[in-house]
Structures are given as structure tokens and as C-alpha cells.
Amino acid sequence: MRTIDRTHDAAATSWLASANTVGTDFPIQNLPFSVFRRAVSREALRGGVAIGGEVLDLAALGRTQCLDGLALQAARACAAPVLNDFFALGPAAWRTLRGALFDLLHEGAVARSPSNVEAVRDCLVPQSDVEHALPVRIGDYTDFYTSIHHARTISRLLSPNGEVPRNFQWVPTAYHGRVSSIGVAGQQFRRPYGQALRDGSSTPEYGPCRQLDYELELGIYVGAGNALGERIALSRAEDHVFGISLLNDWSARDIQAWEMAPLGPFHAKNFATTVSPWIVTMDALAPYRQPWSRPAADPQPLPYLESESHRAEGALDIRLEVSIETRRMRDARVPPEPMSRTTFHHHYWSIAQMVTHHTAGGCNLQPGDLLGSGTISGPEPAEAGALMELALAGRKPVQLGNGERRSFLEDGDAIFFRGWCEREGFRRIGFGVNHGMVLPALSEAEA
């Protein structure tokens, strides 16, 4: 587990005024990573770190005299168009660079090293001027199904006597997803086609999805990998996790219902997955740990997924919000409307347990691999992480403030995810925004 140190001091401020603004996602205590370039430019993509309203260009910083040793090696690894080589350096390099950036951006640096402050200032680019790309070259993507509240609601919606699969309480279940259709925030995608069995029919039909949905998830980025055949113990699992972003696992529910048996989702999931550009490091999240628990009446984890230290601080309190912007809202310049809020603390299986189980059979993870947490839903209806839950599979459409209703997503709808952590005695940090938009399906003539 990561430890709390000087970089989490709530009293720490930056010489960059925008980093000290109340409510900012990116104070000096955060320092999340992304890949960026100036918008509408031919600049090379490179790694950057968010600080207030700016991006600290790590490629430019690596050419200054502000860093040395392992911190300089790490910054230079971030000069590449993807962060895989940086991730492969491991936790010591991640932590060393983050600490060095904290010191360079700290208010105290003005007195200690004014020349360094000026050099760093020259490496800042306004966030309003940049565009982002996927932060890593994703070799593999695994999507988990690990929220008991989501699983129970979905099971009951599909069958009056529906129960979660028997293995759900014993194993963090998952499937391998499609990498080529993963996009960064701002992704726009066509409503997918697929087979679906409509009510009252005995024969499936092929056509555009009628029940398009979002799924509120976290994207978990693997840092240092493991060798083929080498299992990762629970006590070391988070040493292999660089950080977390927001992930939208768009889902075609009608297609999914028909194709799930016997091997799971295919067309229902492979058309788009959207991740936010910023990756909040596990080091930045250290203050927001909470005890991990399992109801006493439920099956307890098998020994390889259990430990006292994991019970003590294996959960993370990441607050999450879903909002919708319909075409009508956008045309009227009405801001997106919140639909639900929840927290990752409710999750049945933890990040460490997902990583450990992923490798329990000898699977080798690699730097830049992406894990989806599975839909994050809480015990209350208003904490649902999917529209299918909120609208009860279309039986009770969600009423929006402008008079519109939604059972499932319509063309032109945009979904926004926000995430943040806050705790008394520590600074609030955020994940930025993840958003994507549904476009109309291609016509038969266009296909």
C-alpha cells in the first residue's frame, strides 16, 4: 500500500495560483499524468502532468537542469508518445518523479531555487490549449464485473427470481475486451448494429441497437508487469498498478441479452470504450484509503485474496457522478444534468484482488494493460452506475429537468463522468472529466 508523505500535506500550496483554487481537481497534492500536444498542431505527443489549469510538459522539463538521477530518467521516459516505458520503470521511479515535481511546483521553490521556477514556468501549457490521446499503448483490456449492487439489480431486472451467479461472491469475474475501439474523452461513436431477440419473437433480427447504455467504471492501469507463469500476491498487487482514470464501458443491452450465452459479450461491448485523459496515481490516492470489508454472512475470500493489511486499508473512497447532456440541452446551452452519484468504496472486490486474481492462473500483465473495474453502483437506487438500473430496464424512464425522459440513450446524448476524493485533513483531488457522445447508426447504404 502507498504511504502518506509530504506530497499529501493539505497546507502545501503552489507558486502557480490556479493550483490553489478551491475545488480544483488538480492541486499540487494530485499531479496526474496524461499524454498531450497543443490542439490542431503537428507537435509530437508527449507526457504531461496536470497542475491547476496548466499541463507541465515533461518532455520540455527533461531538457532543463531541474531534475537529476532517477527523476530525470523517469521524466525522459515520459517524453515518448505513450507512457509505457515510464510505467515499466516501477514504483520507485513513479514516486521519485512525483516527489520531484511536487518540490519544483511548491511555493517554497520560489525562495529555494528561483531559476528552477522560471524553467518550470516555461514548460507549462494551458489546459485549454491542448488535446489528449490515449496515455498508453494498451496491449490488453480486461473488464471486470465486481459490484454486488449492480449485479443484484441487473439479475432481478432480467428475472423476477434472479440471483447473482454463484461464483460472483467467490471470484472477481471478468472478460477480455476489445482494445482497438478504446478512445479518449471526447470520443464520438456510431450506435452499433447487432443481433437482438425482440419481445414476442422467436427469431433474432439484425439492426441498430435500441437499448444503448453507459457503465460507470474506473480504468486501472497496470504499471510494472509480471512474467508469464508468475502470480502476483495480494500484498504486492498494488506495486503493479500505476494509477486510475474514469472509464465508460458503453453497452448495447438488447444485443448483450441475446449473445451473452455461452461465452459472454461480443458486439454488445466492442464498439466503444471511453477513458478520461488523466491518470491519478496510486500514490496521490494514499490518503483516501478505507478498510475493506465483506458482510459476515457472505462467503469470505479464499486465502490468496485475503490478508489483514488488505482488510485494514484495501478499499478506496472515490466519489463518482454521472451526468447527461441531451441534444436539446446542448442546443439550449443548458449544462449537463446529474443523474446519479456513488462511491467506489461500495465495490465488492478491490483493485488489489482484481490484479491478484488476474494473475492467479499465471497470466502475464504488461505495462499499459487496462483493467475496467466493472460498473460501480451503490446500495441505493440513486447510486446506480448504469441507465438500465436507473430506469429499471426501461420500465420507469428517468425524468430530466427539461421535460425529456430516458429509458436508454438516444442519438446525440453525451454522458459525463466526474470523480474526486475528499477527506477531512487532506486536500480534495479530482480525476477531471470523461465524456463521450452517441451518434446515429450508419444507414445500410453507408455501411
For the chain, the domains span 6-133, 141-439
Q: What is the dihedral of CA 171, 168, 354, 311, to 10 degrees?
A: -80
pLDDT of the residue at 1 = 67
pLDDT at residue 121 tops 80:
yes
pLDDT at residue 447 tops 70:
no
pLDDT digits (tens, 9 = 90+) for 324-338: 999 999 999 999 999
Distances (CA, A) of 367 to 87, 140, 247: 6, 10, 18
Listed in sequence order, the residues at least 6 apart from 308 whose beta carbon sits closer than 8 Å to its beta carbon are none
Instruction: Work out the number of other CB atoms within 10 angstroms of the CB of residue 214.
Output: 26
pLDDT of the residue at 158 = 82
Burial string for 278-307 (b: 16+ CB within 10 Å, else e) reads: bbbbbbbbbbbbeebeeeeeeeebeeebeb
Written as nine digits, the cell of 326 is 441531451
pLDDT at residue 187 tops 80:
yes
pLDDT at residue 258 tops 80:
yes
pLDDT at residue 259 tops 70:
yes
Listed in sequence order, the residues at least 6 apart from 6 whose beta carbon sits closer than 8 Å to its beta carbon are 12, 99, 102
Dihedral sign (CA 105, 109, 113, 117) = positive
Classify domain 141-439 at the CATH class level: alpha beta
Bridge partner list, 105: none
Query: What mean pLDDT do residues 84-102 have?
Result: 98
Chain centre to alpha carbon of residue 447: 32
pLDDT at residue 446 tops 80:
no
- Nearest alpha-carbon partner for 54 in 122, 100, 114: 122
pLDDT digits (tens, 9 = 90+) for 100-119: 999 999 999 999 999 999 99
pLDDT at residue 375 tops 70:
yes
Residue 128 falls in which region: left (phi positive, over 0), alpha (psi -120 to 50) or beta: alpha
Query: What mean pLDDT do residues 380-404 have?
Result: 96
pLDDT of the residue at 199 = 84
Q: What percent of the chain has pLDDT over 70?
A: 99
> Is 6-133 in CATH node 2.30.30.230?
yes
pLDDT confidence of 167, banded at 50, 70, 90? Answer: very high
pLDDT at residue 192 tops 80:
yes
Instruction: Work out the number of other CB atoms within 10 angstroms of the CB of residue 107.
Output: 15
Contact 274, 259 (CB under 8 A): no
Query: What mean pLDDT do residues 128-141 have?
Result: 98
pLDDT of the residue at 357 = 98
pLDDT digits (tens, 9 = 90+) for 276-305: 999 999 999 999 999 999 999 999 999 999
pLDDT of the residue at 161 = 78
Is the full-model pTM beyond 0.85?
Answer: yes
pLDDT at residue 390 tops 70:
yes
Q: Tell me the pLDDT of the chain averaged across its residues.
A: 96
pLDDT of the residue at 369 = 98
pLDDT at residue 322 tops 70:
yes
Residues known to be catalytic: 150
pLDDT at residue 53 tops 70:
yes
pLDDT at residue 70 tops 70:
yes
